[in-house]
Structure 1
Amino acid sequence: MVRAGVAAALPALAGIALGHSAVAATATLGAFAVVYGEGRAYRVRWRVVSIAAAALVFLAGVGAAVGAPVHAAAAAGNSALGNSALWATVLILTMTVVVAVCAFVVDGLRLGAPGAFLPLLTVEIASSLPALGVSTTEVLAWTASGAASALLVSMSGFLVRRRTPERAAVAAAVAAVGAALSDSSSPTSRRDAVRALHAAWQCLHDAALVGRDHALTRALHAAHLRCASMVDGRDADHASDTDDLRPQVPLPRPSIRYRLGRAAHPRGRSWTIVARLLVACPAAGLLALSLDVGRPDWAVITAAMILHQGPDRVLGTYRGLHRFFGTVLGLGLLAVLATLDLTAAALVLVVALLMAGTEAFLVRNYGVAMVFITPLALVVGSLGTHMDLGVVTRDRLLETLLGVAMALVVLWTVLPRSYRRILRDADEQVAHTIGRIADTRDPVAVAELCHDLEFDLHASTTAAITSAHTDPAWTRTLWPEHHHLHELGYRTLARHLGPSM
């Protein structure tokens, strides 16, 4: 949280000191990259943040380049209404393509939150800046300065305490296991413990500590065994994250090529997400445009943010409610800020605080995160210039309503039984990988296939949970076969890998 605020504040305050107060807050767009490094070992964090930073700089340039003719056409008046609508449509389609591509990559690689949200938010905010006289070159330069700040801030602890991310991940896992053991009847505490254990193991894999005699590895392994003993057989009658916790230490993620290859399967969940985005985003944007609401891009980003994190209709519906009510509260916070006569430096500090709040809650509670995201997007998108609060509130609420409504309609009507196809495909892939392992004699190839199998088992569990949320009766009929396949998969891993430590 602190890193997010500092990454946004440093280049913006430097810009104010150099006399560029009007555009310095644009650096926040590049500073978003700091979020993608959180929880990562320093050994890989620099690479992750660098890739995210490069993508954000590129997308900021795309947003500004597309937004410039949109606002130029709008400023030309009634004589250019047709041209204005044409360029607004181009912006809507650009945002749709961006979120579809980013959602596919994020889901395929199983990167989790914040997912495709910040890249699309960057495009949306950058597209509004040309209306304030900010050139595409300036947007690129200030976004790049924020990106550089994000990288420096993300890696700032490396020289002092290079194992801090690993220690934090292990401590969180040990604490989560302790909480689960003290309240073993709570499915939520068991689920949180399993997720914390998997996250900690991946952090130690990234740090190249797994397989070494290290205090952190020993502490995590002890907590892992305690949790595995607690959940063993407890959830045998329904889908749960605890299905993926066995005594063996989780393997590192398979290669990027393998994960994206699996996502490219037309029957998989990633394409379901993309298909829904390609319907909902243009529909929401064009509906807002036809109603002559000021910012159709807001409707696009609302629809996209409800749909981009997965095909689960129940969780998506909750996310839509979080989006709407979080936006309402965020507009209230914006109204409070609008009453203050903030200097440029004070405005940067407010942006930094909003950035920190966004980072703190984006993964934990999307509704609370929207309370910070709404004023953040509007403040950075206006660069502190005067806003007609009544018009902004009206347009934002209306377009949020349009985006939420369109997303929920698409969520429940487009590919309504995709959860069945996704689960069957995931289970078929598990069976296929088990068969390949049985037919392979090369130890190196078997080890690689075991990495793939564990990933496929996780994907199958996720598909089963989504199916159980959506259609518990149907999922129950498939459960015995699914559960037997999982038991076979984990026995295969135990036989070929043996004890991990």
Structure 2
Amino acid sequence: MVRAGVAAALPALAGIALGHSAVAATATLGAFAVVYGEGRAYRVRWRVVSIAAAALVFLAGVGAAVGAPVHAAAAAGNSALGNSALWATVLILTMTVVVAVCAFVVDGLRLGAPGAFLPLLTVEIASSLPALGVSTTEVLAWTASGAASALLVSMSGFLVRRRNPERAAVAAAAAAVGAALSDSSSPTSRRDAVRALHAAWQCLHDAALVGRDHALTRALHAAHLRCASMVDGRDADHASDTDDLRPQVPLPRPSIRYRLGRAAHPRGRSWTIVARLLVACPAAGLLALSLDVRRPDWAVITAAMILHQGPDRVLGTYRGLHRFFGTVLGLGLLAVLATLDLTAAALVLVVALLMAGTEAFLVRNYGVAMVFITPLALVVGSLGTHMDLGVVTRDRLLETLLGVAMALVVLWTVLPRSYRRILRDADEQVAHTIGRIADTRDPVAVAELCHDLEFDLHASTTAAITSAHTDPAWTRTLWPEHHHLHELGYRTLARHLGPSM
């Protein structure tokens, strides 16, 4: 949380000191990259943040390049630039393509939150800056400065405590397991413990500590075995994250090529997400445009943020409610900020605090995160210039309502039985990988296939949970076969991986 705020504040305050107070807050767009490094070992963090930073700089340029003719057309009316509605449609379609591509990659790689949210938010904010006289070159330069700050701040602890991310991950997992053991009847506490253990193991894999006699590995393994003993035999009649916790140490993620290859399967969940985005985003934006609301891009981003995290209709509906009520509270916070006569430096500090709040709650509670994201997007998108608060509030609420409504309609009507196809496909892939392992004699190839199998088992569990949320009666009919396949899969892993350590 502190890193996110510092990464945004440093380049912006430097810009103010150099006399660029009007555009310095644009650096926040690049500073978003710091969020993608949280929880990762320093050994890989620099690479993850660098890739995210490069993507955000590119997308900021795309947003500004598309936004410039949009705002020029809006100002000129029916001039040589063409009808402003046409250029606004170009922005809507650009945002749709960006979120569809980002959502496919994020879901395919199973990167989790914040997912495609910050890339699309970057495009959306950058597209509004040309209306304030900020050129595409300036947007790129200031976003790049924020990206550089994100990398430096994200790696700042390496020279002092280079194992701090791993220690924090192991401590969080041990605490979650302890909480689950003290309240063993709570499915929520067991789920949180399993998720924390998997996250900690991936952190240790990234740090190249797994397989070594290290204090952190021993401590995590002990917590893992306590949790595995606690969940053994539970949740035998329905899908749960605990299905994926066995005494064996989880393997590292399979290759990017394998994960994207699996996502490319037309029957998988990633294409379901993309299909819904390609329907909802243009529909929300064009509907807002037809109602002559000034910022149809807000409707697009609202619909996208509800749909991009997965095909689960129940969780998507909750996200929609969080989005709307979080926006309402966020506009209230903006109204408070608007009453203050903030200097440029104070405004940067406010942006830094909003950035820190966004990072703190984006994974934990989307509704609370929206309380910070709403004023953050509006303040950075206006660069602190005067806003007609009444008009902004009206338009933001209307566009949010349109985006939420369109997302929920699409969520419940487009590919309504996709959860069945996704679960069947996931289980078929597990069976296929088990068969390949049985037919393979090369130990190296078997080890690689075991990585694939564990990933496939996780995907199958996720598909089963989504199916159970959406259609519990149908899922129960498939459960015996699904559960048997999972037991076979984990027995296969145990046989080929040997002891748990």
TM-score, normalised on structure 1? 0.99
CA deviation profile, 1:201-242 (whole Å, cap 9, x unmatched): 000000000000000000000000000000001111100000
Residue correspondence of structure 1 range 449-460 to structure 2 within 5 A: 449-460=449-460
Q: How far did residue 83 of structure 1 move?
A: 1.6
Contact 2:77 2:83 in 1 (8 A): no
Contact 1:46 1:155 in 2 (8 A): yes
Contact 2:106 2:115 in 1 (8 A): yes
Contact 1:330 1:374 in 2 (8 A): yes
Match of 1:233 in 2: 233
Q: How far did residue 423 of structure 1 move?
A: 0.1
Residue correspondence of structure 1 range 383-422 to structure 2 within 5 A: 383-422=383-422
Q: Distance in 2 between matches of 1:481 and 1:80?
A: 64
Match of 1:2 in 2: 2
Q: Which moved more, 1:214-223 or 1:75-84?
A: 75-84
Q: How far did residue 80 of structure 1 move?
A: 7.4
Q: Distance in 2 between matches of 1:338 and 1:227?
A: 49
Contact 2:423 2:460 in 1 (8 A): yes
Q: How far did residue 77 of structure 1 move?
A: 3.5
Off by >6 Å, runs of 4+ in structure 1:
none
Q: Distance in 1 between matches of 2:179 and 2:498?
A: 29
Contact 2:78 2:84 in 1 (8 A): no
RMSD: 0.8
Which secondary structure state, in structure 1, belongs to the residue aligned with residue 53 of structure 2?
helix
Which secondary structure state, in structure 2, belongs to the residue aligned with residue 81 of structure 1?
coil
User: Which segments of 5 or more consecutive residues in structure 1 lack a partner in the other structure?
Assistant: none
Q: Distance in 1 between matches of 2:270 and 2:75?
A: 39
Match of 1:356 in 2: 356
Q: How far did residue 189 of structure 1 move?
A: 0.1
Q: How far did residue 73 of structure 1 move?
A: 0.4
Contact 2:263 2:271 in 1 (8 A): yes
Q: Distance in 2 between matches of 1:345 and 1:206?
A: 38
Q: How far did residue 500 of structure 1 move?
A: 3.3
Q: Distance in 2 between matches of 1:352 and 1:75?
A: 32
CA deviation profile, 1:416-438 (whole Å, cap 9, x unmatched): 00000000000000000000000
Contact 1:211 1:500 in 2 (8 A): no
CA deviation profile, 1:246-297 (whole Å, cap 9, x unmatched): 0000000000000000000000000000000000000000000000001000
Contact 2:426 2:460 in 1 (8 A): yes
CA deviation profile, 1:364-409 (whole Å, cap 9, x unmatched): 0000000000000000000000000000000000000000000000
Q: How far did residue 78 of structure 1 move?
A: 5.8
Q: How far did residue 499 of structure 1 move?
A: 1.2
Q: Distance in 1 between matches of 2:280 and 2:80?
A: 27
Question: Structure 1 residues 420, 88: closer, same or farther in 2, change over 3 A?
Answer: same
Which secondary structure state, in structure 2, belongs to the residue aligned with residue 495 of structure 1?
helix
Q: How far did residue 171 of structure 1 move?
A: 0.1
The alignment status of 1:498 with 2:471, answered yes or no, reads no
Q: Distance in 1 between matches of 2:425 and 2:78?
A: 53
Q: Distance in 1 between matches of 2:101 and 2:320?
A: 21
CA deviation profile, 1:43-92 (whole Å, cap 9, x unmatched): 00000000000000000000000000000000113667962011000000
Q: Distance in 2 between matches of 1:79 and 1:21?
A: 33
Which secondary structure state, in structure 2, belongs to the residue aligned with residue 172 of structure 1?
helix
CA deviation profile, 1:442-483 (whole Å, cap 9, x unmatched): 000000000000000000000000000000000000000000
Contact 2:107 2:309 in 1 (8 A): yes
Contact 1:60 1:140 in 2 (8 A): yes
Contact 1:100 1:277 in 2 (8 A): yes
Which secondary structure state, in structure 2, belongs to the residue aligned with residue 461 of structure 1?
helix
Question: Structure 1 residues 339, 80: closer, same or farther in 2, change over 3 A?
Answer: farther
Contact 1:181 1:227 in 2 (8 A): yes
Q: Distance in 2 between matches of 1:499 and 1:132?
A: 62
Contact 1:74 1:80 in 2 (8 A): no
Match of 1:365 in 2: 365
Q: Distance in 2 between matches of 1:481 and 1:225?
A: 27
Question: Structure 1 residues 2, 424: closer, same or farther in 2, change over 3 A?
Answer: same
Which secondary structure state, in structure 2, belongs to the residue aligned with residue 400 of structure 1?
helix
Q: Distance in 2 between matches of 1:479 and 1:207?
A: 37
Q: Distance in 2 between matches of 1:79 and 1:456?
A: 55
Which secondary structure state, in structure 1, belongs to the residue aligned with residue 237 of structure 2?
coil
Contact 1:244 1:457 in 2 (8 A): yes
Contact 2:73 2:79 in 1 (8 A): no
Q: Distance in 1 between matches of 2:161 and 2:416?
A: 49
Q: Distance in 2 between matches of 1:79 and 1:17?
A: 40
Match of 2:295 in 1: 295
Contact 2:316 2:411 in 1 (8 A): yes
Contact 2:41 2:204 in 1 (8 A): yes
Q: How far did residue 14 of structure 1 move?
A: 0.1
Q: Name the % identity.
A: 99
Q: Distance in 2 between matches of 1:268 and 1:498?
A: 31
Contact 2:72 2:81 in 1 (8 A): no
